[in-house]
Amino acid sequence: MLRAINSQKEVSTKLMKGLLDLIILQFLNAQPMHGYQIITKIRKNFGVYFGPSTIYPLLGTLEKKGYVKSEWNMSNERPRKIYSLTSNGQSMLNFTEESLNLICRKISIQTNAGMTVESPTQSTVSMMAKKGRSDPTNRLAFEMR
């Protein structure tokens, strides 16, 4: 039983790593955020910790690709770099979500058609969706249910 739980967590973490850019774009679609907000929101919604050494380089890459833009907010006691989604980022988010939803539907159709498909991905996607349901801005988790 413990081995199965560890395997599910491992698969969930691998999926999160693979979808991290999409998750960040999704969060920024809901509202502009600084890096630490993104880190804490990922941990709260998915139960997985990705630190600054993972998130900030990814934000830099997303910015270089034109999916996010950043501005310094100097109005607080501590300056913060605020990231927001660009129109190119919105297009990439929409395309990726549609692609993932198509994959999930195909897995579901194969499973429902009586084929024996072992799909840890499907159960992990369901598990991730359940974790994300509490956040109405979490479109990916909501649509992947």
The answer to whether position 54 is within a domain reads yes
Note whether residue 70 is domain-resident: yes
Helix, strand, or coil (residue 85)? strand
Burial of 22 (0-12, 13-18, 19+ CB in 10 A): middle
Whether 11 maps to a domain, the answer reads no
Residue 44 lies in a domain: yes
Q: How many domains does the chain have?
A: 1
**Could you report the per-residue pLDDT of 28-61, keeping only the tens digit for each?**
999 999 999 999 999 999 888 999 999 999 999 9
106 inside domain: yes
Domain that holds residue 136: 20-140
Evaluate whether residue 13 is within a structural domain: no
Residue entry with tokens 């999926």: 15
* pLDDT at 114 (0 to 100): 63
In tens, the pLDDT along 50-109 reads 999 999 999 999 999 999 999 999 998 899 999 999 999 999 999 999 999 999 998 888
Q: What is the CATH number of the domain that holds 48?
A: 1.10.10.10
Angle between helices 35-46 and 52-64 in degrees, nearest 10? 120
Query: Does residue 1 belong to any structural domain of this protein?
Result: no
pLDDT of residue 115: 54
The predicted model scores a pTM of 0.72
What Å distances lie between residue 127 and 27, 99, 122, 139, CA to CA? Answer: 19, 19, 9, 15
